[in-house]
Structure 1
Amino acid sequence: MAYTARSRRTTAVLAALSLGILALSACNGDAGKDTATTPSAAASASAAGTDKGADAPSAAGSDDGGSDGGNSSDSQGSTPPSQPASDDGQDGGVGMCETTDLSYNVTVASKPVNHALLKATNKGSGPCLLPANELVITIPELDGAAEHMGPDGKDWILKAGESAYAGIMFSRADTAGGKSADKVEIALTAAESPTTVAIDEGPVTVNDGQVTSFFGTAEDALTY
């Protein structure tokens, strides 16, 4: 009986040891699995980080695209501004001279022959832009206006009290006949109503009227 009890205890101890060994093996196996999976997880995390790092240059490239957009904006900024809608920038906003803005004097010239000098003075209190090439001279009771002669002038700002000059030729030396006139009609443009001005030292004989553009001096006006 004593032997039987001892055998049972030995068997129990061996069984317990076996269970302990099995449990220990199981634990070691789980630990091995954890250890085995850890590098894989780390590798996955590392790969994910590498992928994100590879995406970073693309994001930078996108930012560069935005920078290009900034350059485009700079190009627009360097675009020259639109042109003015009117010509006021050229004359500082000064209005055109009208026929009634000026006073006129027409005097027969000593030379050249058959010429008279027209002096037009700004009688207003401010400047105006003088149309140099649109002067219209007509003789009452004669058909048509005087033709243009000489070079074209340039419009300029005629200040208050300042004068401009034009030469009028009433007849050619080689043309006989004509009509007598002691006054002329003057308009700065064909669209305006003319004003009538007496001819100092007149009357004159008119058979082929011509007129120059406006000039800044009497000498220039009587050159043609």
Structure 2
Amino acid sequence: MRSATRFVSRTAASSMVVAAALALVGIQAAGQTASAATKEASVVTCTTANTKLTVTEATRPINHLLLKATNTGTKPCFAYNAPHLRAGADAQAVLPWAEETTPQSVVTLEPGQSAYAGITTFSPDGEGGSNETTLGVIFADRNANPTSAEKTLKLPNGGVFFNSAAVVTYWQDNPADALAW
């Protein structure tokens, strides 16, 4: 009888230790989840107000521009989706997004960090076209809707030719990925 009591006591004690360990893991996981939620709540959407935008001509591949957005704010920001771009002041529609460039996760910019989008300006397969001197940039929110006022940038070399084949990549965390497609 005594050995059975010892066995039950050891089993009960082991069960209590396992339950306590699981409870501790649950508390730690809840704390990490709360910490992640707090961190995400302190991250804002990248906009023309909290970033510096520049556009340069890429040396490779040809017919490409590189758009760079640098976080000038004091909080991290999310560069969602791809930028809404208008080639020229009279553009009626934004450039289409190159869906095959969708990154695995949203690009997060700490203060001072940059995101990049590649722009194909034209292709021989495209139709029409004109030489444009400005590029209108609007950031997208999590749902791909425009977020803020448009920022107008001057295009390099006094102007760039755009035709119907022009597209823009999703935001990438490095220039090589933005220009790799």
| Alignment TM-score, normalising by the size of structure 2 | 0.70
Is the 1:107–1:201 Cα contact (8 Å) retained in structure 2? no
What letter corresponds to residue 184 of structure 1 in structure 2? Answer: L
Give, in angstroms, the shift of residue 136 of structure 1: 0.8
Cα distance in structure 1, aligned partners of 2:163 and 2:107: 32
Corresponding residue of 1:22: none
Cα distance in structure 2, aligned partners of 1:152 and 1:212: 8
Give, in angstroms, the shift of residue 201 of structure 1: 2.7
Equivalences for residues 35-74 of structure 1 within 5 A: none
Change (3 A) 1:96 1:176: closer
RMSD over aligned Cα atoms: 2.8
Cα distance in structure 1, aligned partners of 2:68 and 2:147: 21
Determine which of 74, 83, 102 is the counterpart of 1:135: 83
Cα distance in structure 1, aligned partners of 2:123 and 2:92: 17
Give, in angstroms, the shift of residue 117 of structure 1: 0.4
Is the 1:91–1:129 Cα contact (8 Å) retained in structure 2? no
Change (3 A) 1:88 1:197: farther
Corresponding residue of 1:111: 60
Percent of aligned positions that are identical: 26
Structure 1's unaligned 5+ residue stretches are: 1-73
Cα distance in structure 2, aligned partners of 1:199 and 1:159: 27
What letter corresponds to residue 146 of structure 1 in structure 2? Answer: L
Describe the superposition over 1:133-182 as per-residue Cα deviations: whole angstroms up to 9, x where unpaired: 14211122122111111321222331221111110111122225311101
- Establish whether residue 174 from structure 1 lines up as the match of residue 125 from structure 2: yes
Could you list the runs of 4 or more consecutive aligned residues of structure 1 that deviate by over 6 angstroms after TM superposition?
A: none
Is the 2:46–2:77 Cα contact (8 Å) retained in structure 1? yes
Equivalences for residues 1-224 of structure 1 within 5 A: 88-89=37-38, 91=40, 93-124=42-73, 126-139=74-87, 140-149=89-98, 150-153=100-103, 154-189=105-140, 190-208=146-164, 209-224=166-181
Aligned residues: 150
Cα distance in structure 2, aligned partners of 1:169 and 1:127: 31
Is the 2:134–2:153 Cα contact (8 Å) retained in structure 1? yes
| Alignment TM-score, normalising by the size of structure 1 | 0.57
1:147 aligned counterpart, secondary structure: coil
Work out which of the two has the higher radius of gyration on C-alpha atoms and give 1 or 2: 1
Cα distance in structure 1, aligned partners of 2:127 and 2:59: 20
Please state which structure has a larger fraction of its residues in strand. 2
Structure 2's unaligned 5+ residue stretches are: 1-18, 141-145
Is the 1:164–1:217 Cα contact (8 Å) retained in structure 2? yes
2:147 aligned counterpart, secondary structure: coil
Corresponding residue of 1:11: none
Please state which structure has a larger fraction of its residues in helix. 1
2:155 aligned counterpart, secondary structure: strand
Describe the superposition over 1:81-107 as per-residue Cα deviations: whole angstroms up to 9, x where unpaired: 89x89x844626222222211111111
Cα distance in structure 2, aligned partners of 1:200 and 1:166: 16
